[in-house]
């Protein structure tokens, strides 16, 4: 005589629930042991220190140092002299050579 299909499923579900409950109990025990061990270690650390720490007085904020003004250039430029404009360096290639290279590559 075979058991009804529903009965077999109920039995496997009960076994799974029982196994899950056993695992939960084991985890609870491990957590309790770990927690107790941790509490003991914390208590030992507190007992070892024994001396209360004295608060340090608050440090006064340091004054900000002012930036040093840049020194004037030692050799003044003549009034009519102009500066060169900023230019990019292309690894030692002149502007004209770089432009020719870009045109040859098809850049616009």
DSSP letter, residue 65: P
In the prediction, which pLDDT does 67 show? Answer: 75
In the prediction, which pLDDT does 1 show? Answer: 46
On whether residue 68 sits in a domain, the answer given is no
φ, ψ for residue 91, nearest 5 deg:
55, 45
Interval 16-36: pLDDT, tens: 999 999 999 999 999 999 888
Which two tokens mark 79? 């009034």
Return the SS3 of 90: strand
In the prediction, which pLDDT does 48 show? Answer: 62
Q: Which residue stretches of the chain have pLDDT < 50? A: 1
The residue assigned the tokens 């004037």 is 72
In the prediction, which pLDDT does 65 show? Answer: 72
On whether residue 5 sits in a domain, the answer given is yes
In the prediction, which pLDDT does 78 show? Answer: 67
Please state the domain count of the chain.
1
Domain hosting 29: range is 1-51
Which two tokens mark 92? 């030692």
């Amino acid at each position: 005589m075979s058991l009804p299909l529903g009965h077999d499923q109920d039995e496997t579900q009960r076994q799974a629930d029982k196994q899950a409950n056993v695992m939960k109990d084991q985890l609870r025990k491990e957590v309790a042991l770990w927690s107790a061990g941790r509490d003991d270690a914390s208590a030992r650390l507190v007992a070892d220190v024994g001396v209360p720490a004295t608060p340090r007085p608050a440090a006064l904020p340091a004054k900000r140092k002012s930036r040093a003004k840049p020194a004037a250039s030692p050799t003044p430029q003549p009034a009519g002299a102009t500066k060169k404009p900023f230019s990019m360096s292309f690894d030692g290639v002149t502007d004209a050579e770089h432009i020719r290279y870009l045109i040859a590559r098809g850049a616009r």
